[in-house]
Structure 1
Amino acid sequence: MSHVTTHVLDTARGRPAAGVPVRLERPASHGAGADGRTGGWTAIASTATDDDGRAGALGPERLAAGPYRLVFDTAHYFARTGQQGLYPEVPVVFELADEDTHYHVPLLLSPHSYTTYRGS
């Protein structure tokens, strides 16, 4: 299993959000601050959520501690499901502090809002 996984639920439709493209990124080696908030990002892996809204095969089994970012292509998902969304992309920056712990970062999504949290 990947060190980082995600699960996307479409709260407006009351079901898993299948087919959401998602990328796992880390700060680019040049131009990025130690916090990952400045400079560019480099993609590590990409996939799309499965029929249950899950992305379990998202990158390597082990990652070094540091900042990472999940980028959800919500415009693609909303267009495919006939919804008009406010946020065409949802970037979620997080700190991977424990290299020995699995990180699950779910996204609750609707056309006009989103929420994320540290899952289990």
Structure 2
Amino acid sequence: MNTLSSHVLDTTNGRPAKGIALTLTYPDGSTAEGITNDDGRFNGWAENSAKGFEAGTYTLRFHCQEYLLSNHSKSFYPHIDIAFELEENGGHYHVPLLISPFGFSSYRGS
């Protein structure tokens, strides 16, 4: 069974990014919404599917402009899309995002 979580860290402040809206697009084009908590995390995707996530290509959109403008007065990115592929029975997938007003990076976390 595949599960999914995410975490957003503000590398300028060295703190979690609270209140960033997320949109997950499934391989079939349907979507689900979430928002990062006080620790910059969201793991409610598992609640949306009791069977876990099927294999396929997903896109996770981080709607970061509002957060960056309110915390840094600048935002080069209105949103950041990360496309990733889940394998059959791949286990837990964690998609972290490190952001600043003018840069970002991601990787497969644990």
Give your verdict on TM over 0.5: yes
How many angstroms apart in 1 are the aligned matches of 2:69 and 2:103? 16
Following TM superposition, where does structure 1 have runs of at least 4 consecutive aligned residues deviating by more than 4 angstroms? none
Shift, 1:26, TM fit: 1.7
Report the more deviating stretch, 85-94 or 99-108: 99-108
Report matched runs for 1:6-21 at 5 Å. 6-21=6-21
Matched residue SS, 1:106: strand
| Amino acid in the other structure paired with 1:12 | T
Asked if the contact 1:24–1:68 (Cα under 8 Å) also holds between the matched residues in 2, the reply is yes
1:99 Cα offset (Å): 2.8
Q: Could you give the per-residue CA deviations for residues 24-60 of structure 1, whole angstroms, max 9, x where no partner exists?
A: 11234xxxxxxxxxxxx431x2111000000011242
Give the CA RMSD over aligned residues. Answer: 1.7
State the alpha-carbon separation in 2 of the partners of residues 19 and 94 from structure 1: 23
Task: Report matched runs for 1:42-57 at 5 Å.
Answer: 42-43=30-31, 45-57=32-44
Where in structure 2 are there 5+ consecutive unaligned residues?
A: none
Supply the distance in 2 between the matched residues of 1:87 and 1:114 (Cα, whole angstroms): 9
Structure 1, unmatched stretches of 5+, are 29-40
The number of residue pairs the alignment matches comes to 106
* Greater share of helix: 2
Shift of 1:81: 2.3
TM-score (normalised: structure 1): 0.80
TM-score by length of structure 2 reads 0.87
1:68 to 58, 65, 88: 58
- In the alignment, is the contact (CA less than 8 A) between 1:70 and 1:93 conserved in 2? yes
C-alpha deviations, 1:92-118, integer Å up to 9, x for none? 000001335011010000000000000
Question: Conserved in 2, the CA contact under 8 Å of 1:9 and 1:53?
Answer: yes
